[in-house]
Structure 1
Amino acid sequence: MSHASIAIVPAAAEPTAGTVDLTAVDRAIAQFGTKPEALIPILQALQDHYGYLPQEALLHLCDKTQIKPAAITGVASFYDIFRHRPVGKYMIRLCRGTACHVSGADRVDEALRRELHIPPGDDTDPTKQFTIEAVACLGCCTLAPVVRISQTTFGHVAPEKVPRIIHEFLANVSASSELEKSTEKPTEKRPHIAEIRVGLGSCCMAKGSGQLYHALEDTVRRNRLPVIVKRVGCVGMCHRTPLVEITGASKNNTVYAGLTPALAPDALQRHFKPRGLLPSIARAWTSMANAILADRVPSEQIEACSLNRADREVSVFLDRQVHIATEHFGKLDPLDLDEYIEHDGFAALAKCLGVPAPIQTGTSKGHGIAQEKAGDHETAAHTTASHTRLAPEEIINQIAQAGLRGRGGAGFPTGQKWRAVRDQAAEKKYVICNGDEGDPGAFMDRMLLESFPFRIIEGIAIAAIAVGAHEGVFYIRHEYPLAVRRVRAALSEMEQRGWIGKRLLGSNYELHLSVMEGAGAFVCGEETALIASIEGHRGMPRLRPPYPAESGLWNCPTLINNVETLAVVPWILRNGPDAFARIGTKTSKGTKVFALAGRVKRGGLIEVPMGTTIREIVEEMGGGAADGRRFKAVQIGGPSGGCVPARLADTPIDYESLQQVGAIMGSGGLVVLDDSTCMVDIARYFLRFTQEQSCGKCTFCRIGTRRMLEILDRICDGKGRLADLDELEHLARRVSQSSLCGLGKTAPNPVLSTLRYFRDEYEAHINGRCPAKKCVPLIHYVINDRCTGCTLCAQHCPVGAIPMTPYQRHKIDDAKCTRCDSCRQMCQYSAIDVL
């Protein structure tokens, strides 16, 4: 059947220029199949190839598969990542997460558009070189504001840095691509006396750890040092990256923070001497030349980078932490299977299968594990008989005894969930790892998937055995490319050893695992919407019951667990449920991983016992508000959570206590807000997010949040009325009561919590004043009598609102002023006031 006369793309889409090469469509079909459920992966592949979805390609797809035009239109218009117009050569993805929002993402957006001369209402520059795309969250919240150009991430982007960033990207675009590929190579296995560990997670890479990694490798190679430079996962202290740890060179490990590639050779020389005559001469000659030219890197700079574990800034950040999900953080190569096994990896899984635990024998990567290969049937059967197998019922009992609750949001008891799936008398069951971490301001799942992919695989395999499933899916955000690559690479490594598939870890248990990327829909974090997405449909939640445990993926019983939930499962089975239950509170057991970000001095990835207070995390571990500001509130739980004021900072972080103060645990995003944050704007930010991300199925979620957003827009514009506050609360209750899924039910939470604790700010806006001086229609910039006429503000004003009048007190043209704040930030004399 031909569909040539059917328009598949939306009416607003531009026609395709020229003829489209359709071989990319045929390749995608060959890879993913012709069935309707292959639609989303095929569309992703086509967009990766063309940059958007050409009409001709979509028509060809319909002709060659079982996929209908209506399905393509429905799916392609639903998911945010799909584009229907040609784009520039390079994509600029601007993070709009909570931490980036409060750190000035709007001003960065304005600066990018000015620098690239992008016309109003468009997203691509006239030369078709760059296209700007807003992204809900890039998961690098400690580096806010964040911009990703192609595959290169830039952190702490200020508006005045935009021209330099564009220039830097264009100058290094080819090198950046090669750098990304080379940092994914396995750590070299050879005899060595020491390790140089470099964190290569997404945040670390954005801070330059990739370049540092190569500078260290180059120094080791040139000087023939008996050491290895080792890639490791997240180091947690994102505020001090890039971090380098040198182990084995002395009694105590040495840690450097903020080391640059230029400093790398001199730093290593402090620990290791070059081997051989030529490297020694070359190093001596370089040192002498540097000294003569007065260009030698001062040893004081390297010493300043040295980080002492006993320093209060370091110890207060680390000492409260208990590492379970993040066990061995900063030590393991994420993709070194032998090393994972050496640290008790797959010991819990082996216990559940009744096979011997894999043993690391110290040989090269890919070999040397004392474990039967898939084809060794007789040996595997013999050894299996000699090892006690932990029965599925006992696995579930131990998880229940540990008191583990789901770490993805609602905190449902994990053991109870597993038992519900186990009790289903179905021939086919599924397990799903929900890695669709859509909360803006959260990056825990990204870090766990990037740093510990084998641990998550072990967790989902144990869950599969417990419930009797033989197929599983990792559903991971499309915005987390490094996490996707590492999970796929880890699965590939296990497949090569024959440890997954027909014979899980050499046993007779069959388990097949695959990876599917999300497509940018926040609602797909909800279980039934996620299932719809895997099946190739729009991510629309469905009425429950039946719950996924009864009828989920392909109408089969399905277990869905969050990444962090699965990450702690192996630890519980290795150490016993009581060890886990002893940590935390009476009703909230164990630890919780949090992404500490926003307006805080020491942001990062932390894992603390349940019951730790907000104050202990924000003011002690995090060091309080940054830049001398006052800690005002903390936003916990993302769009479904709430804003807890500083006066309630002694609230313990557990499921029940947070609910009492109007927040929820959520997935673990914890964004600190200071006194420069407008709480009405924060409420509007979250409501805009949930309104845009609403699947549209429920009237109250679709229309109710729109009406609430209109009221908040009026208030932020200074046009609100006191009656609007009552209307907001009324609408919030109706949306919460009448929405189908949990996301709609909790959408009003940020509004309700800010009304509860910061009602005075709403009233101030209604009276025409923004106390935080953030809402543009309510503020004005004026220059006071401290002005010296230095012209710095005029030089940096992007719209020419400040005339160039040297040595005279400057004036700001209020009609031209866009309130971008550039002048105030550049002024060295505090001569600019915001009224």
Structure 2
Amino acid sequence: MTEEIQQIISQVDKVIQQKGNTKKALIPILQAIQDEYNYLPEEALRHVCDTTEITPENITGVASFYSQFRMKKAGQHLIKVCVGTACHVKGAGQVYDAFKRHFNLTGDEETDAEGNYTLEKVSCLGCCTLAPVVQVDDVTYGHVTTDKVDSVLQDFESQVGKTGKKSKYRNADGSEFQGEIRIGLGSCCVASGSDEVKKEIEQTIEGTGINLQLKNVGCVGMCHQVPLVEVIDENKKSKLYAKVKPNEVADIIHEHFKPKGLIDRLRSNTFHWLEKMQTDTVWEGVDRYAIDVRDEMVSSFLDRQLPIATEHRGVLNPLDMDEYRSFGGFDALKRILQTDRHDVIRMVKDSGLRGRGGAGFLTGLKWELVEKEKAEKKYLICNGDEGDPGAFMDRMLLESYPYRVIEGMLIAAWAVQATDGYFYIRAEYPLAVTRIRQALINCREQNLVGKNILGSDFSFDIQIYEGAGAFVCGEETALMASIEGNRGFPTIRPPFPAHKGLWGFPTLINNTETFAQVSYIIRNGESRFSEIGTENSKGTKVFSLTGKVNRGGLIEVPMGITIRQIVEEIGGGVQNGKQFKAVQVGGPSGGCIPASLYDTPIDYHSLLEVGAMMGSGGLVVLDEDDCMVDIARYFLSFTQNESCGKCTFCRVGTKRMLDILNRITSGKGTKKDLEELKYLAEWTRKGSLCNLGKSAPNPIVTTLRYFYEEYEAHIEGRCPTGKCTAMITYSINDECIGCTKCAQKCPVDAIKFEPHKKHSVNTELCIKCDACRQVCPVDAVEVV
């Protein structure tokens, strides 16, 4: 036995000791092994089988089903290119191709020749407002274009080995703070550089005598303006700064705070002057970066919103339990422990709260069904899988409001008499997992989770279970199969989970947002919640607003608000003065709502009427440049790839529909294909086992219904928007000024470098990467 194999076996033994040796520990074991080696070494898997109850069949079945697992050796670093909806419409495909060219990867190759990097596509990284997004290991880059590939890799390599620096300014000596600086450290903020801004703040005030409280806060929702820094001075006046860069920090601090003592003041001023000399930057005034709370842009973004699940956003430190309690945190839990459980369920029923995961089943009714079951064990699961590309609501809630979600779970567990709980969270959300894990540790220390909670006879513990990359596991029965260590196959219902769920016991499953709204109902009363929204859709809904919109982000709005109000008043309209074309609602299960239905209210009933559905809450804005046939093809490719393959209607139906759409978008479609699409859509919807298959045709059905003329144009041989690359060619018109920028950016030398001359495109060499059009300063590059 070689030393390398001995090391692998030793590592696997540690994993098994930590995770367990039964089948239910299979997925956590595989995840831990892959975290260590970036793939699943054969020697490691053999040792798992030799020392646990897990069989080779178990491993093969699970590892081949979940997209997260790799059986081939991977590079030292992983590059994940997000191809979620928002990233797709902003050119993620071209970015992926640019990385392939950079590493000289051909065909199905994923790892570079040196074994340093492995390239892969992922469905969604949950940072949709920063699209296109690329993640290298745990470093996320936003707004990546084809010409930024080299700079992304250079930046990452400069970051390898660096560690963060903890804040020293937590008022440990008991002295009074001169003020407070709040900095958002959610995923979008971190991806935009908030960690670097935070370090710069620490370094700027070090040695100056300025005594500030540097406070980490969760998501503010204004993801289009990150990184965000809010400064609260000695007079409690607040000013919010947007898109802050590290080299702007010193000026912001010196605008609001002065060092204590003459020596400190002189030292600070000298440092400030020297820094200006070193960076050679010119400060153009703090107001250039400031967003006043009275500013029309901010007020229009926030005024239409009503935070319930996102209550106290931008103020709470996600993991500060004392602060959460100061805002009434865990008061609802204390109250229900003194209340009859049936009264608690009645309150939730009377509030009209419906499940926010997509189907919209009445939450109180589901709780009632589980409570009525008699069993020695009952399970409760928080579904935070959120596989929809273009959606990041669960990610934000788990990162920013961990205690609020936990409190909702505890209230539900007490009401239905659940004994054990699980967080099922996407593995692509590492920050959410980290914060929930720490929040649970803090709750156990405060006797809020575990045995005899708050001195009562109520005992309930919660574990974290990370998903392994299967969209279908958002479906309840598939999710439970995953926790049990199996392939994520849905099962026929009935029996429903409320009767026979996890390991055969009654199980309550609600999604993250549903649990986040429960404590509000208990604290403020069911009537307060039910007064919000519409007759059949009560309360608020959290959405991720992304795509071609000026002010994308995380929003929470009353049910019944219209699409127009969200896009125009909250989102600030469509980017670059383009025309609104459609909004894609509800992810792969939803549909495309056209401009003619701009005033459609967003509630469960209205969306179904126009052929869409609420889904988990993704809203992707599309403009006049987006091809609706390509959008339908994109979603079909996603659902076809994510189909578990268990039932024929979904497995074969989605494949047949995707084949037709590929044919149409390549200019080879016929009129007969459109009738075939309608036929296949109907039968896929009727015959599929779970909602993944039943709703998979929705993007096709709605685009055929509202954009039939675009399908006809493709059949006639033209893509009206120029998005379908197989049907277009690039050319350069007479506006060309011979600046050579297009030639310099062309990765395949399809444009000759000829300064001061009109350029031309060699169509035989052109790979249609769009780099020339993006870089042309006079819009001389045309797509025909």
TM-score range, shorter chain: over 0.9
- Corresponding position: 1:833 with 2:782: yes
Structure 2 vs 1, CA of residues 306 and 346 (structure 1 numbering), >3 Å: closer, same or farther? same
* Aligned-residue offset at 1:208: 0.7
Tell me whether 1:252 sits opposite 2:201 in the alignment: no
Whether 1:503 and 2:452 are equivalent positions in the alignment is yes
- Residue aligning to 1:333: 317
Spell out the pairing of 1:346-357 with structure 2 (5 A cutoff): 346-353=330-337
Structure 2 SS opposite 1:428: coil
Kindly indicate whether residue 692 of structure 2 is the aligned counterpart of residue 743 of structure 1.
Answer: yes
Structure 2 counterpart of 1:149: 136
Match of 1:240 in 2: 225
Taking the aligned partners of 1:467 and 1:563, their CA distance within structure 2 comes to: 17
Query: What is the CA-CA distance between 1:753 and the residue it aligns to?
Result: 0.5
Contact 1:20/1:56, CA 8 A, preserved across alignment: no
1:632 to 581, 587, 594: 581
Change (3 A) 1:473 1:537: same
Contact 1:212 1:260 survives alignment (8 Å): yes
- Residues 20 and 57 of structure 1 are in contact (CA less than 8 Å); yes or no, is this contact kept in structure 2? no
After superposition, residues 402-481 of structure 1 pair within 5 angstroms as 402-481=351-430
Q: Could you tell me how far apart the structure 1 residues matched to 2:268 and 2:217 are?
A: 28
Matches within 5 A, 1:582-731: 582-731=531-680
Q: Read off the aligned partner of 1:462 and give its amino acid letter.
A: I
Residues 1:263 and 2:212 are matched in the alignment = no
Output the CA distance in 2 between the equivalents of 1:295 and 1:165: 22
Aligned to 2:727: 778
Take 1:604 and 1:676, find their aligned partners in 2: how far apart are those partners? 22
- The counterpart of 1:529, out of the listed 468, 478, 481, is 478
Three-state SS of the structure 2 residue aligned to 1:643 is strand
Alignment partners' CA distance in 1, 2:285 and 2:227: 15
2:203 is matched with which residue: 214, 218, 234? 218
Instruction: Give a deviation string over 1:663-695, Cα, whole Å, max 9, x none.
Output: 100010000011111100100100010000001
Aligned to 2:756: 807
Structure 1 runs of 4+ with >3 Å offset: 16-20, 185-191, 287-291, 293-299
Q: Which runs of 5+ in 1 are unaligned?
A: 5-15, 354-388
Cα distance between partner residues in 2 of 1:86 and 1:20:
17
Distance 2:536 2:58 in 1: 45
Counterpart for residue 89 of structure 1: 76
What residue is the counterpart of 1:231 in the other structure? 216
Residue type of the alignment partner of 2:125 = L
TM-score, L = length of structure 2: 0.97
Report the 3-state secondary structure (helix = DSSP H, G, I; strand = E; otherwise coil) of the residue aligned with 1:508: coil
Residue 186 of structure 1 deviates from its aligned partner by 11
Q: CA RMSD in A?
A: 1.7
Instruction: Determine the C-alpha separation between the residues in 2 that align with 1:242 and 1:142.
Output: 12
Give, in whole Å, the separation in 2 of the partners of 1:186 and 1:115: 43
Instruction: String of CA shifts for 1:412-457, please: whole Å, max 9, x gaps.
Output: 0000000000011112101000000000000000000000000000
Answer whether contact 2:685 2:696 (CA < 8 A) is retained: yes
Equivalent residue, structure 2, for 1:206: 191
Does structure 1 retain, via aligned residues, the 8 Å contact 2:586–2:618?
yes
Whether 1:63 aligns to 2:60 is: no
**1:196 aligned residue (181, 202, 205):** 181
1:499–1:506 contact (8 Å) kept in structure 2:
no
Aligned to 1:100: 87
**Do the aligned residues in 2 keep the contact of 1:187 with 1:333 (CA within 8 Å)?**
no
- 1:553-592 equivalences in 2 (<5 Å): 553-592=502-541
What is the one-letter code of the residue matched to 1:803? K
Write out per-residue CA displacement over residues 529-587 of structure 1, whole angstroms, 9 at most, x where no aligned residue: 00000000000000000000000001000000000000000011000001101110111
Conserved? CA contact 2:255–2:286, under 8 Å: no
* Cα 1:251–1:80 shift into 2, 3 Å: same
Structure 2, unaligned stretches of length 5 or more?
none
Q: Which residue number corresponds to residue 764 of structure 1?
A: 713
Which deviates more from structure 2 when the two are superposed, residues 87-96 or residues 188-197? 188-197
The residue type equivalent to 2:397 in the other structure is L
Alignment partner of 1:123 is 2:110 = yes
Q: Deviations over 1:359-401 (max 9, x none)?
A: xxxxxxxxxxxxxxxxxxxxxxxxxxxxxx1111011110011
Q: Are 1:399 and 1:415, in contact at CA under 8 Å, matched by a contact in 2?
A: yes
Q: Percent identity?
A: 54
Deviates more, 1:251-260 or 1:340-349: 251-260
Q: Distance in 2 between matches of 1:711 and 1:294?
A: 60
Aligned match of 1:375: none
Aligned match for 2:289, one of 298, 301, 305 = 305
Aligned in 2, Cα 1:130/1:313: closer, same or farther, shift over 3 Å?
same
Amino acid aligned to 2:157: L
SS of equivalent residue, structure 2 residue 183:
strand
Equivalent AA in structure 2 for residue 483 of structure 1: A
Instruction: Supply the distance in 2 between the matched residues of 1:256 and 1:40 (Cα, whole angstroms).
Output: 43
How far the C-alpha of 1:174 sits from its partner, in A, is 1.7
Residues 1:505 and 1:223: Cα distance change in structure 2 (over 3 Å): farther
- Give, in angstroms, the shift of residue 272 of structure 1: 1.4
Amino acid at match of 1:312: E
**Higher mean C-alpha deviation, range 259-268 or range 399-408:** 259-268
Paired residues, what number? 781
Q: Is the 8 A contact 1:259 1:302 kept in 2?
A: no
Cα gap change, 1:188 to 1:448, in 2 (>3 Å): farther
Q: Give TM-score, length-normalised by structure 1.
A: 0.92
Q: Give the letter aligned to residue 281 of structure 1.
A: L
Change (3 A) 1:645 1:22: same
- 1:139 equivalent in alignment to 2:88: no
Question: Which of these residues, 539, 545, 551, is aligned with residue 494 of structure 2?
Answer: 545
Structure 1 residue 494: Cα displacement: 1.3
Greater Cα shift, 415-424 or 297-306: 297-306
Amino acid corresponding to residue 760 of structure 1 in structure 2: E
Residue 143 of structure 2 corresponds to residue 159 of structure 1: no
C-alpha distance 554-187 of structure 1, shift in aligned 2 (>3 A): farther
The question of whether the paired residues in 1 share the 8 Å contact of 2:731 and 2:760 is answered with yes
Q: Does 1:23 align with 2:7?
A: no
The 1:684–1:264 alpha-carbon spacing in structure 2 relative to 1, beyond 3 Å, is same
Question: How much has 1:286 moved relative to structure 2?
Answer: 2.6
1:320 equivalent to 2:320? Answer no
Instruction: Please tell me whether the aligned partners of residues 783 and 831 of structure 1 are also in contact (alpha carbons under 8 angstroms).
Output: yes
2:24 is aligned with 1:37: yes
Which secondary structure does the structure 2 equivalent of 1:222 belong to?
coil
